[in-house]
Amino acid sequence: MRNANHAGQKARHFPLRIALLSTLTVAAITVISAVPAQASQLATEVADTSGGTETNLLLQNLLNGITFGLLLALASVGLSLIYATTGLSNFAHGEQVTFGAAAAFAAVTAGAPLLLAAVIAVAAGGASGWLQDTVLWSQLRKRRIAPMQQMIVSIGLALAAVNLLQIWMGAQRVRLSTSIEVRYEFGPVSIGPQTMISMAVCIVALGAVGFFLQRTRLGRATRAVSDNPALASATGISVNRVIRIVWIMSGSLAALGGVLLALYENTSDFSAGARILLLMFAAVTLGGLGHPFGALVGSLVVGVVAEVSTVFLPTPDLKYAIVMGMLILTLLVRPQGLLGRKERVG
Amino acid sequence: MTDPQTIISADHLIAGYLPGVDILNGCSMDVKDGELIGVIGPNGAGKSTFLKALFGLVPVREGKVQLRGEDITNLKADKLVQRGIGFVPQTENVFPTLSIEENLEMGAYQAPKTYKSQRAKMYDLFPVLGKRRNQQAGSLSGGERQMVAMARALMMDPSVLLLDEPSAGLSPDRQDETFVRTRDINRTGVTVIMVEQNARRCLQICDRGYVLDQGTSAYTATGQELLADPKVIELYLGTLGADKDDEDDADASAAPEATPEKSE
Ligand SMILES: Nc1ncnc2c1ncn2[C@@H]1O[C@H](COP(=O)(O)OP(=O)(O)O)[C@@H](O)[C@H]1O
Ligand SMILES: [Mg+2]
C-alpha cells in the first residue's frame, strides 16, 4: 500500500483505490447512519433554543466543525505517525481512542478528579502503545511481515480489543462528567466551557507534536525514518527505538483524544473509537498519507466540511457521505493528498 | 591477510537476498589504509550487493568481513557507523522531506556533540550545500543530492567510505566533479571503496581496481594496469559501458536484467 502510487504504477492502482474508497464510503455511511450523530444534534438543539442574540447557523457549524476537526486530528495523528514510520494501517487505532475514554472512566469511577483521570488515561495509553510494540509489532517487523499482513493482524486486534472494552465498560453509555453543560454566547456563536477547554488542550497537544517533529533531534529522526527507514538505519539511527517512541506517543495521543471526545459528545461507550476510525483514515488520507501534518489538515477539513454541510443537507446523517465524496474527488485531483509528496519519478 | 596496513578485508563472502540464492560466490577484497579502490564489472555482477554485504545490509552466509583485524561480519549498520564505516547507497540516498541541514544532522545522529564542527567542515567541502541549507533535499538536482548523500555519510568522520555509483545519472561535468571530489576526500585520509559503471574514469583516479563478475572478484590490479589490460579493455572499456548506467537499477533489480555481457 505504501508504494501504491509509484509513478509508473499510478494508473494501474487508480481503479483499486477508487474501489477501496467506495467500499469505505458505503461502510462509513452504514456505520454512521446507524448511530445518530448526537454531537451535532445536541449543538443544533442548543443553538436553536438559545434566545437572546441570534445564532448564525453557518458560523455555529463552522465552529463545531473546527472543534470536531481538532479532536479528530488529536485522535488520528498517531495513526498517521505509525503509518509514516512503519507502513502499517492500524485498524486497532479506534480502540486506542476508546481505551483512553475507558481508562479515564475507570479512574473517575474510582473517585479521581477529571484532570487526574485524563492524566492516568494518557499514561495508560502510552503504556499500551509501548506494550503492543514490544510484544507484537516489533516482532512482526523483525520477521519482515509485510504491512498488508500486519494490517490484517491489526483488524484482528481491533475485534479482540472492542470485545474486551465491552466487557470492561459494559454495553451502556458512560459519562466522564455529570456537570450540566452551560454555553457561553459570543455574538453569533455559542460554545460550552468543556468544549473550549478541549479545544485548548487539542491545540497545545498538536502544537507539541509539531514542535517535537520539527524542533527536536528525535523528532527529525522520526521524519527521517518515515522518509526512508533503510537509509535511516544505514545512517546510524536506531530505527526500532524511534518506532517504539512513535507507538508510545500514538497511544497517549489517541487516549487523550478519546477523553476529549467523550467530553465533547458528553458520552462514550465501548465503540466510540470504532465509530470514528473510518473518519480518521479519511482525514489522514485526505491530508496526505505519511505526511507529519497531514492528519491535522485532513482532520480540520473533514470536521469543517461535515459540520458545515449539515446546514445544506436534508438530514445531518448524510454529512459523512459528503466527507467521503470529497475525499474521492480530492484524491482524483491530488492522489498524494493535500500535503502529500509526489512519489519521485524514476 | 594479516598485513597490519589492511583496514578492511572481505574473505570469500557468500551472500544473497533470498534463501538459497547466492549473489556473491566467494568474493574477496583486501584494502589498505588510505587506499582508493574502484570496483567495476557488468550490470548485475553483484557490485552493489558486495557493498551492502560489507555494510551488513545483506546477510553474509559464509566468509568474513574484518575491520582492522576485528570481525564485523553481519554487524548491524548502526554499529558499523559507530566503528567508522560510512555508506552512500546508489539510489534514494537522501531524506527527501528533510532539509539539507537536517540530512547532515541525521548523519551525525550517533555523535551529536561533533555535529556542529562536522557540519562546518561539510559546508567548506560543499559550499553549495551551505548556501541552501534550509532547502528540502527532495527538491535538489541529482548532483546536489549526491553531495548531500556524501556529506551525510562523512558527518561521522568515517575511516572507510563505501560509495555506490556516485556518478550514475549525472552529466559528464558533474561526473568529473564527483570523481575529483572523491579523490579529495580520499586524500584527507579516508579509505574509499567506490563502485562505478564509468569504468575508465574510475580506474584513472583509483589506486587499485577490482573487477567483479558473477559474484566473484575476478582479478585486481592497479588502476593503470587494468586500464591497459586487453581483457578489461575489451569487456569494460571498449564500448565504455555504452552509458548503460542511466537507469537506477539498485532496487528494481529483481527484474531479470542481469549480466548482459558474460566474461569469456
Ligand atoms: N533486493 C534484492 N532482492 C533480490 N535480489 C536482488 C536484490 N538486489 C539485487 N538483487 C540481484 O542481485 C544481483 C546483483 O545485483 P547488484 O548487486 O545490484 O548488481 P550491480 O550493482 O553489480 O549491478 C542481480 O541479479 C539482482 O537481480
Ligand atoms: Mg549496483
Task: Show Cβ contacts of residue B32 under 8 Å, excluding neighbours closer than 6 positions.
Answer: B3, B5, B6, B7, B191
Give me the residue from A227, A233, A346 closest to B78, CB to CB: A233
A215 interfacial to chain B (CB closer than 8 Å): no
A201 residue type, one letter? V
Rounded to the nearest 5 percent, the helix, strand and coil shares of chain B are: 40, 25, 35
| DSSP bridge partners of B213 | B216
A218 interfacial to chain B (CB closer than 8 Å): no
pLDDT band at A245 (very low <50, low <70, confident <90, very high): very high
Contact across the interface for A236 and B156, Cβ inside 8 Å = yes
* Bridge-based pairing state of the strands A189-191 and A184-186: antiparallel
Please tell me the distance between residue B252's alpha carbon and the centre of ligand 2 in angstroms: 10
CA distance A27 to A94: 15
Give me the residue from B78, B81, B96 closest to A227, CB to CB: B96
Q: C-alpha A229: how far from its chain's center?
A: 24
Determine which of A27-31, A331-335, B148-152 has the lowest per-residue pLDDT on average. A27-31
**What pLDDT score was predicted for residue A24?**
64
Determine which of A2-16, A140-154, A290-304, B207-221 has the lowest per-residue pLDDT on average. A2-16
Cell numbers of A319, please? 454529512
Give me the residue from B57, B102, B153 closest to A220, CB to CB: B102
Across the beta sheet with B160-164, the strand order is B85-88, B160-164, B191-195, B36-40, B208-213, B216-222
Q: Read off the DSSP letter of residue A133.
A: I
**What pLDDT score was predicted for residue A289?**
87
Whether A39 shows a pLDDT value over 60: the answer reads no
A160-218: per-residue pLDDT in tens?
999 999 999 988 898 888 777 788 888 888 888 888 989 999 999 999 999 999 999 99
CA distance B147 to B145: 5
Cell numbers of B51, please? 557493498
Please tell me the distance between residue B87's alpha carbon and the centre of ligand 1 in angstroms: 17
**What pLDDT score was predicted for residue A163?**
94
Give the predicted TM-score (pTM) of the model.
0.83
**What pLDDT score was predicted for residue A46?**
47
Per CB-CB distance under 8 Å, the chain A contacts of B152 are 235
Percent of chain A scoring above 70 in pLDDT: 83
- pLDDT in tens for each of the 264 residues of chain B? 557 789 999 999 999 999 889 999 989 999 999 999 999 988 889 999 999 999 999 999 999 999 999 999 999 988 999 999 999 999 999 999 999 999 999 999 999 999 999 999 999 999 999 999 999 999 999 889 999 999 999 999 999 999 999 998 888 888 998 999 999 999 999 999 999 988 888 988 999 999 988 877 778 878 788 887 777 777 777 654 444 444 444 444 343 433 344 333
Task: Show Cβ contacts of residue A201 under 8 Å, excluding neighbours closer than 6 positions.
Answer: A256, A260
CA distance B119 to B88: 17
Interface probe for A, chosen from B51, B92, B95 (most Cβ of A below 10 Å), is B95
Radius of gyration of chain A (CA): 20
Q: Which atom of ligand 1 is nearest to the CA of B52?
A: 17
CA distance B229 to B223: 10
- List residues of B whose CB lies inside 8 A of any A CB: 55, 57, 76-78, 81-82, 87, 89, 92-98, 102, 105-107, 109-110, 112, 138, 152-153, 156, 248
**What pLDDT score was predicted for residue B239?**
53
pLDDT band at A141 (very low <50, low <70, confident <90, very high): very high
Q: Which of A129-133, A236-240, A261-265, B202-206 shows the highest mean pLDDT?
A: A129-133
Rounded to the nearest 5 percent, the helix, strand and coil shares of chain A are: 75, 0, 25
**What pLDDT score was predicted for residue A316?**
86
**What pLDDT score was predicted for residue B173?**
87
Q: Is the CB of B107 under 6 A from ligand 1?
A: no
Whether A8 shows a pLDDT value over 50: the answer reads no
Nearest residue (CA) to ligand 1, atom 26: B253
**Selection from A20, A27, A32 nearest residue A276 by Cα:** A32
Determine which of A65-74, A188-197, A280-289 has the lowest per-residue pLDDT on average. A188-197
Per CB-CB distance under 8 Å, the chain A contacts of B81 are 234-236
Whether A53 shows a pLDDT value over 70: the answer reads no
In the predicted model, what is the mean pLDDT of chain A?
85
Q: C-alpha A224: how far from its chain's center?
A: 23
pLDDT band at A38 (very low <50, low <70, confident <90, very high): very low
**What pLDDT score was predicted for residue B190?**
96
